[in-house]
Each structure stands twice: as C-alpha cells, then as structure tokens.
Chain A
Amino acid sequence: MFIYAVSSVRPLEYVILQYINDRETQTTALLVSDEAVQSYKTVDEAVQTDEEPKRKLRLAEDTSGQLANFLRRTEPYIIKQLTNNLRSRAFDGYDVDLEDDSTSVTSLHTLTYPSLQDKFQVTSLSWNSTGSVIGASYGQQEHEDWCTHRSVMCTWNLDRTGIVADKPDSKIEVDSCLMYIAFHPKNPAIVAGGSFNGEVLLWDLSREDDMLIATSGLGQDSHQEPVTKVYWITDAKGKKIYLVSASGDGKIIQWKIDRKAQKLLPKEGFMVMTQSLPRQMKVKGVRGDREIGVTCLSYHSEDRETFIVGSETGVIFKCSMYSQGPPAGSHIVSSIPLRSPVTFTYNPHHGPVYAVECSPFHRNAFVSASMDQCIRLYSLLQAQPVLTIEPGEGYVHSATWSPVKATVIAATTQSGNLLIYDLKQGKTVPVHNIPASSNKEPVYACQFNPQQTHLLATGDGKGRVQIFKLSSKLQQVSGKETEFLGNLVNVTAE
C-alpha cells in the first residue's frame, strides 16, 4: 500500500550553486573628444553709425548778471574794429604761405597707348566725378570722306599705385574716331562720347562685358556731322542730369536715355542758323535758315537755362533753353521740333571758336579760344570782349577756367605749349608757359581735375596725355579773386 500523501513538502530547495566567477572584461578606453557643435544662423544686420543726435546745446546760465554791462562796454569797440576791418587795406596783397611752396608746374605722368602708333591725336579729355580717372578720346583730324578708322577711348586710374604709363586701365573700341567724351558728373563709371559719324554713345565702365549701354544710332535723329561736344547738364532743380550734344550740323540736342532699348532718344533740340549771325557776316543770297556748325558749348554755372555756343564761323551766341526762336528750315528732318535758341550775339572771333567756358565763379564772365590765335574774356552782358589775350603761339585749341581760383585760365596752343594765366597777376603774360608735348605737336585738350585740384591734364597731337601738378600758388584762394574778376568784366571794353 502506497499512501500518497501529499504533504507540503518543502520544495526542494535547490541550492543553486551560484558560481561566481570573476570575469573581467575591458573595453578599449573610451575615446572621448569634445566636439562643439553649433548651428549657425546668420542674420544680416545693417549697422550704421547714426548721426549723433544733435545734442541740444545747453547754454550755460549767466550767473553773475553782468552780461549787459559787459556788452555795453565792449560793443562800441567791437563795432569800431569791424568797420575798420572792412575799410582796411592793411592786408591787401599780403599772402602768407606757410606750407611747402612749389612755384612750378611739373609733369607727373605721360600716358600713351602704343597701339595707336602716334597716328591718332587726343581729341578730348575728361576727368571722372571722383577725380581719380582720366579718360582720353582719340581721333584723326584729316578725314577725306566717311570715317573708317577704328579708334579707342582709354582710361587711366591715377590713384592706383602701379600706374603703367603705356597701359590704359580700360580701353573701349569704337568704330569711328571719337571726337569728344565727358564723364558723368555724379556716377564715376558712366561716360558719354560723340563720334565722327554723328553718333552719341554712352558707356558704363563698371560693366564686365559690353560697356556700351546706349547709342543714338546713325539715323535722322542723330547728328549728320561730327559731334563736337557732349555735355552733362543738371536741370533747374538740380535733380536730373541730362546729356546734351552739339555738332557741326548746327544741332544741339538734349537726349533722354532709354536703358532698356539701349537707345538715346532726342528730347529737345535746337538749331543754330545763319539768321542769327551779325549783319556784317551775313552773305547775300544765303537763306536765313542754313545751319551753322557748333564747335563748342558751355552751360552757365548758376542760371541753368542759359548757355553759350561757339561756332565754326567765329561767332559766339548766347542761347536760352526756353527761347522761342524761329524754327529750323523745312529741309531739316527731325522727329523733334528744332528751333533757334539764340538770344544774343557777341563780337565774333576771326576764326572758328575752339572752346568756350563760363566761369564757375562769376556769373557774367566767360572765356573763349579760337583759331584766330586769341583768347578772349567776355562779359555775358555785352557784345565786345572785355579782354583779348594774344599769346602769339598759333591757334589756341582750348581754354578752361580753374575750378578753384577764379582768375586762373589754362589754355593750350598749336605750338605745343600749356599756358596758364592768372588775370590778377598780369593780363597778357602767362604765369606759366610749359611745353606740353614733345616735338611741338599741337595740344588739343586741357582739363583741370575738379576734385584733386592740383592736377591738370593735356592731350597732344601724337596721342600723348600729360598730367601736370600745379604749383600751390595756383590753388591758393585769397577770397578776393571773384571780386577781381567781377571788376574786370564790369569795366567797359577797351
């Protein structure tokens, strides 16, 4: 008999033998390296120093209350001194020059473009608006027929340290002779040029590829004769800047720039005609509406609507943008109405006028240079010139006023000299007479640098551009020059 008895049996206790084994494992040392990771987030923040807010000037309080007495005591004396100063001639002609005085005009650079091989002459020069770049246009004087020359416009940046005299910084090729260039007065990269074919072109030197941004084309609206001058003018309010061109076909056209179509469209135009000539110059039998070639023009410095025009006939005209002169003859085809701008005629030169320029300081003075070997100073108000200077050096190709000193005029002649006159120091003898070309080539162009006033550039018949450094005397302004010039042009002519 088996009795199964289930009894609580203590479960078998298994003794689990726990084997404890010491085991060692080792991992390779944990390589820990610090890595800083940061997500970058850039935000453009325009920072500009604000104009210091104008701190209201806190005037101190007058504590002692004696201010009235003080003023009572000193006022008579002060007034006396003020009046004495106005009348005093003690300092007349007393000029102290404490800085290093250089009395001569020296040539700094001679810039050439060798590929032109001396066949081209410099037709015009222009400084850009910052005064650091000089541009030169080249052309040939002798043309028998259409111009088939390929010419260039070169620019040199004089502020660069490594200026190479025979490598221009930029060259623009033009397919005819360039007669005149002018940099934009505000934008240092824009330059306008007029070519022999009558085309007016506009370039942007800051572009990489094609620098030509607009052209007037060669159609009916452009000039039919070589363009003699291009000029940038600011309108009466001083906001907009326009381009004006003048040419041997008698037309003076103000252009509108259409950037998208890359065209220059005529906006307003004038035509200088034979009916404006002084009576003794009129030729019998010639109709009054024949055009007179315009060789140069200059806008008045203060009065935005008056401009002076010099012509091939030697006559200088005073013109107005708003004049309602007689319209151009019917033989002229143009998309804009052209009319005569002439309001007054001055006593003519005996040869074509090569340059006219209104004085930047005095509103009544302008200077003209002509093939009749004279430089004349005119007053805007009278027909006879106030002063005639005959340097005796052949044709005078250009004359220009100094932008800093009201009585200084620079002129260049056929005999290759640069003449600088200071009207205050002698009206017939130049203060400086310097050869500006090798081999006595005629010097055709001359321009003062309006920003860096110690520089003057000249261009000669062999395509050489010379940069001169002016003496400090020519830049020192004593304040009495404008008055002197005013007195000169107010005197009736000799």
Chain B
Amino acid sequence: MSEVEETIKRIQSHKGVSGIIIVNADGIPIRTTLDNSTTVQYSGLIHQLAAKAKSTVRDLDPQNDLTFLRIRSKKHEIMVAPDKEYLLIVIQSPNEV
C-alpha cells in the first residue's frame, strides 16, 4: 500500500497542512496523521457534517451531489472530499505559512 502512504505523505508535507484523516463509510478512521483524540473527534464530527451536507445538496436537487466541503474557521480550514466509501479530511492553517 505504499502508493497510499506516499500520497498521504505528499499531502501532509504541503505548506500549512496540519493533518490528514481518511475515514471509511462508517465514520471510522482508517488512516491518520494526527493524535488519537483529535482523530476520533474530527472523524466523528466531520463524518456527520459531511452526511448532512450531502443530504442537503441532494434534497435541494436530486440530480446534484456533494463534491467538496470546506469549513473555514478563524484558525484553520478543514477540507473534506467525500466519496462513496471514504472521506478525506485535510486540515490546513493558511495563517501559519
């Protein structure tokens, strides 16, 4: 699975990235670069939020679907790329460049 590890490493080494979490369809993390408690917190909360966002988009227009979710806060930006089986969460702190 070195391609997976390499990709994760590439994203992690990008400027400003604090961490990456990959979550499966059940909301359980399968890969992470952050510590345990943070990973658990992020995966649970973001999984729910992404599901809600997806259902909102589908409700507004059944032909539409969620492609990307970005949450910008004072301190970081959380980017969520959804998929049928996985969820990629990337946390970036653009201020700390």
Contacts and interface: CB of A to CB of B under 8 A. Distances in A.
Interface of A: 54-57, 59-64, 66-68, 70-75, 77-79, 81-83, 85-86, 88, 91, 476-480, 483
A62 B24 contact: yes
Nearest to A63: B24
Contact of A82 (B3, B22, B39, B92): B92
B11 A67 contact: no
Contacts of B28: 59-60
Given A81-B70, A85-B92, A71 B7 contact: yes
21 contacts: A56-B36, A57-B29, A59-B30, A59-B31, A62-B30, A66-B85, A67-B4, A67-B30, A68-B7, A70-B85, A71-B8, A71-B22, A74-B81, A75-B7, A77-B68, A77-B81, A78-B81, A85-B92, A86-B15, A86-B16, A479-B95
Interface in B6-42: 7-8, 10-11, 14-17, 22, 24, 26, 28-32, 36, 39-40
A405 to B, nearest CB: 13
Contact of B11 (A55, A59, A62, A75): A75
Contact of B30 (A60, A73, A74, A479): A60
Contacts of B77: 85
Contacts of A66: 85-86
A74 B88 contact: yes
A59 B34 CA distance: 12
A57 B40 contact: yes
Given A66-B85, A70-B86, A60 B94 contact: no
Given A78-B79, A479-B96, A67 B39 contact: no
Nearest to B31: A59
B58 interface: no
Contacts of B1: 67-68
Contacts of A479: 74-75, 93, 95-96
B97 interface: yes
Nearest to B15: A86
Interface of B: 1, 3-4, 7-8, 10-11, 14-17, 22, 24, 26, 28-32, 36, 39-40, 68, 70, 72, 74-75, 77, 79, 81, 83, 85-86, 88, 90, 92-97
Contact of B16 (A62, A70, A85, A476): A85
Given A74-B81, A81-B68, A82-B11, 11 more contacts: A57-B39, A59-B30, A70-B83, A71-B8, A74-B83, A75-B11, A79-B14, A86-B97, A88-B94, A478-B74, A479-B74
A82 B19 CA distance: 12
B12 to A, nearest CB: 11
A63 B30 CA distance: 10
Contacts of A57: 29, 32, 36, 39-40
A479 to B, nearest CB: 3
B14 A82 contact: yes
A73 B81 CA distance: 10
A78 B92 CA distance: 11
A86 to B, nearest CB: 6
A82 B17 contact: yes
Given A57-B29, A82-B16, A71 B4 contact: yes
Contact of A60 (B29, B36, B92): B29
B88 A70 contact: yes
Contact of B26 (A60, A81, A478): A60
Contacts of A79: 10-11, 14
B77 to A, nearest CB: 6
With a 10 A CB-CB cut-off, give which of B70, B74, B96 has the most chain A CB atoms: B74
Contacts of B29: 57, 59-60
A64 to B, nearest CB: 5
A64 B85 contact: yes
Contact of B10 (A60, A70, A75): A75
Contacts of A75: 7, 10-11
B8 to A, nearest CB: 8
B22 A67 contact: yes
A55 B36 contact: yes
A21 B74 CA distance: 106
A63 B94 CA distance: 34
A63 B88 CA distance: 16
B86 to A, nearest CB: 5
B21 to A, nearest CB: 10
B95 to A, nearest CB: 3
